[in-house]
Structures are given as C-alpha cells and as structure tokens.
Structure 1
Amino acid sequence: MPSHTSQLGLYGEQAAVAHLREHGYTIHETNWHCRTGEIDIIAQQDDMLVFVEVKTRRTSGTALAAITPTKRDRIISAVYAYLDAQELDDAAWRIDAISVTIKPHEAPMIQHVEDALDW
C-alpha cells in the first residue's frame, strides 16, 4: 500500500497532468527515471519539449521555493539524460515547475511557472 506522502504526490501529479492538458500540452511521459534522477512530467507545447517538476503540499507556497540547488542540478542532469536517450540533442526545451496545493473540501490550487529554472 502506498504511503500517505506518495499518495499525495501522485494526486498532485495527476492534477498537474490535467492542468497541462487543459492548457493545450501533450503529455509524453510521467515519472521518467534514469541514473541521475526523475522527471515528473514530460510534455510538449507546440514545438517546445517541456520537463515539469511537480511539488505537492498541503500549505501554500511556490514550487520554486521547494527546488533546492541540489534538486535543480538533478533535474537538469535527468533532462540531458532524457534528451540523449531519445536522440533529441537539437530539441527546443525548457523546465517548468508546478505547485499543487491541496486543502480539504477545495479544488487543488495550481501554480504553473514556465521556464522555472531560468533564474
């Protein structure tokens, strides 16, 4: 049986996928793993490949605050591993972050930050 934390994370990722689809993104993969890390969602928006880090919580906050420098490096390494594995060296891409806040008896609150690691 999955832990409460993993159930919360899965719920957040499902909410993020629904949000992306509602905004015209095509979902290619979820929870892609490699030696250096994981990419929560791999999507496409027009000609742009979009790698999405999802952070789910029960309190308000931004997705960027939860991405530490170490996590940032792992995400970037995983993106390069994916691009290499798929032979997409020339693809246009970016990394987004989605924060999903879950509160009892309310719809999830979603904050989508495009190009989140370009700071």
Structure 2
Amino acid sequence: MTDNKALGARGEELAAQYLQATGWTIVGRNWRCRFGELDLIAQDSTVTAFVEVKTRRGLGFGRPEESVTFGKRRRIRQLALLWLHEQDGPYRQVRFDVISVLLLPGEQPVVEHLEAVF
C-alpha cells in the first residue's frame, strides 16, 4: 500500500469511527463501480449521507475539504444515484457531506464533519 493510500485509509477509518460514535450506521464503505468510488455511506433514522473523506498531514496545500472540486462533487452525485438505484429502500432524505481529517505530526487527529455541503 502506498503512503497516500495508507493516509487515505487512516482518514476513512477515523471518519467511520467518528460517524459511529455520533450515532450513524455505516452502510457502505469504499463502494465501487466502473465509474468511481464512494468513500462512506452512512445512515441515521431519516438521512442517508454520502460522505467524501479528505485527509491531509498539513495545511501547506490548504484544508482537506478544499480539495473536493466541482468535478468531484458531480461524480459523487452521479455515483450516489447509481448506489440508490441498487437499493430496495427504505428511502430516506439524501445529503452529501465531507469529513475533513487533519493528521498533524505529534498531535491528535482533527476530524471535522461538514454536513450537506453540496
């Protein structure tokens, strides 16, 4: 596993732990199809959230969430439609979240959940 893949996997694990600790159920993780991948799919009693996780070791290139570009948002929406098409229900409100994970050397991870950001 490359260093960037390991960093991403660590961020996704921290994001999943955060969501579970705040009452969410993870119903999909690294869901893939030929068009791309959804990082996390989480549900509570009324909402299905498609969660893009962005992890960085520093702020030299900006905050992690700033790397979710227009094209990435469009692709996530398209993938979410494909995922929803595969489901039998129950149907819920859908939203798109970003979880930003900052792993600064020598410090505790900082996990920030940005809800309904696109």
Q: TM-score, normalised by structure 2?
A: 0.91
The aligned amino acid for 1:24 is: G
Unaligned runs of 5+ in 2: none
What whole-Å deviation, never above 9, does each CA across 1:27-80 have from its counterpart, x for those lacking one?
1111001122211001112211111000000124151x1111111111000000
Shift of residue 89, structure 1, vs aligned partner: 8.8
- Which residue of structure 2 aligns with residue 100 of structure 1? 101
* Structure 2 partner of 1:36: 35
Letter in 2 for 1:99: S
Query: Quick one: which amino acid aligns to residue 34 of structure 1?
Result: C
Is 2:77 the partner of 1:76?
Answer: yes
The change in CA–CA distance for 1:89 and 1:28 in structure 2 (over 3 A counts) is: closer
Q: What's the counterpart of residue 67 of structure 1? A: 68
Matching residue of 1:115? 116
- Rounded Cα–Cα distance in structure 1 between residues aligned with 2:73 and 2:112: 18
1-side partners of 2:18 and 2:90: how far apart? 28
Asked if structure 1 preserves the Cα contact closer than 8 Å seen for 2:35 and 2:79, the reply is: yes
* Residue type at the aligned position of 1:36: F
The number of aligned residues is 115
Q: Which residue of 2 aligns with 1:13?
A: 12
Using the alignment, how far apart are the partners of 1:7 and 1:33 within structure 2? 18
Partner of 2:2 in structure 1? 3
Structure 2 Cα separation of the partners of residues 76 and 36 of structure 1:
12
Q: In 2, are the aligned partners of 1:51 and 1:96 still within 8 Å (CA)?
A: yes
Q: In the aligned structure 2, how far is the partner of 1:19 from the partner of 1:80?
A: 25
For 1:46 and 1:90, locate their aligned partners in 2 and report how far apart those are by CA, in whole Å.
11
| TM-score (ref. length: structure 1) | 0.90
- Percent identity, aligned pairs only? 38
